[in-house]
């Protein structure tokens, strides 16, 4: 597979339609296990890929589907949460796919999932919170995923 050598860059044109100055999280719609999933936060600083209850239930999963995983996670508010378990699914962003091992937690979140830096790096994506976009190379050229 040969990808374009065009550099991935962001410029002022990428700010069109974005209200400045903002501090919005980078939230995208992507496919997880073949289903279109909204409100997925791209978090370059997160140490874990996380799945929240809305997505867990929406995918029709049960606790028996989870593999054992009890390494504590620290929530945004500093509280520690023990995951219910872990499950791996393909995550597809504009036809680029990577398998992600999600830690499933029972905490409330406005997001359905969090994708951490490893998943983003695996598809060669470059996120920009300022531009609320993710860009990566494909055979067809640079693909832009707009945040919502």
Q: pTM of the prediction?
A: 0.82
Residue identified by tokens 């998943």 is: 119
**30-34, 91-95, 116-120, range with greatest mean pLDDT:** 30-34
pLDDT tens for each residue of 28-80:
999 999 999 999 999 877 888 999 999 999 999 999 999 999 889 887 778 88
The region that residue 132 occupies, defined by phi over 0 for left and psi between -120 and 50 for alpha, beta otherwise, is: left
Query: What is the rounded CA–CA span in Å between residue 20 and residue 129?
Result: 12
Query: What is the rounded CA–CA span in Å between residue 148 and residue 80?
Result: 28
Domains and CATH numbers, the chain: 12-146 (2.40.70.10)
């Amino acid at each position: 597979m040969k990808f374009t050598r065009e550099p991935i860059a962001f410029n002022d044109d990428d700010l069109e339609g974005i209200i400045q100055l903002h501090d919005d999280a980078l939230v995208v719609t992507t496919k997880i296990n073949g289903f279109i999933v909204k409100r997925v936060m791209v978090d370059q600083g997160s140490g874990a890929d996380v799945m929240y209850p809305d997505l867990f239930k929406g995918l029709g999963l049960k606790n028996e589907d989870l593999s054992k995983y009890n390494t504590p996670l620290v929530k945004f508010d500093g509280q520690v949460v023990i995951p219910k378990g872990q499950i791996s699914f393909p995550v597809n962003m504009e036809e680029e796919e990577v398998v992600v091992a999600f830690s499933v937690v029972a905490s409330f979140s406005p997001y359905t999932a969090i994708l951490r830096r490893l998943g983003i790096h695996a598809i060669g994506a470059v996120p920009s919170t300022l531009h609320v976009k993710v860009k990566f190379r494909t055979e067809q050229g640079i693909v832009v995923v707009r945040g919502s």
